[in-house]
Amino acid sequence: MTNPHDPYGQQYQPSGQFEQPYGLQPYQPPQQQYYGHQGYVRPPDQGMAVASLVCSLIGLVMCFPAILGIIFGHIALSKAKRGEAGGQGMAQAGMVVGYVVTALWLIPVILWFVFVVLAVGAASVS
């Protein structure tokens, strides 16, 4: 039975409901998907990389910590490359600063040693 006042051509059923044309189904909201709880992922540890940079910077005042900065930098860089820790850039910076500071400390020591050797050599000649 067709309703002449219905422009969409829906079929009227005796139950009082309209039939959808073209076999369309009524809208049903999509089923909600539940995902399991994903735990908090702790960021990688950067302790050795920080120690490397700090020791290298302290090495500007004293020589020995710069050597520790180089050692910590190598350890941190190897851990970062294996994926066990983060801070690869900080480890590299600590190593570079450590090497530069150590070189700046070694230049005067080497010059002093050369001066002493030359002075002792000149004193023994006279």
In order, the DSSP letters of 28-93 are -PPPPP--PPPPPPPPPP-HHHHHHHHHHHHTTT-SHHHHHHHHHHHHHHHHHHHTS---HHHHHH
Domain count, the chain: 2
Within a domain: residue 62?
yes
Q: Tokens 């066990």 label which residue?
A: 84
The residue segments making up the domain with residue 107 are 91-125
In this structure, what are the phi and psi dihedrals at residue 62, rounded to the nearest 5 degrees? -125, 145
The confidence score (pLDDT) of residue 20 equals 54
Query: Is there a domain that residue 4 lies in?
Result: no
The set of residues, in sequence order, having a beta carbon less than 8 Å from that of 50 and lying 6+ positions away, is 87, 90
Average pLDDT, the chain: 81
37 is a domain residue: no
Residue 105 maps to a domain: yes
pLDDT at 96: 96
Q: Is 31 part of a structural domain of the chain?
A: no
What confidence tens digit (pLDDT) does each residue in 29-47 have?
777 776 666 666 666 778 9
72 and 95 in a single domain? The answer is no
Determine, yes or no, domain membership for 17. Answer: no
| pTM as predicted | 0.61
d(CA 71, CA 90): 13
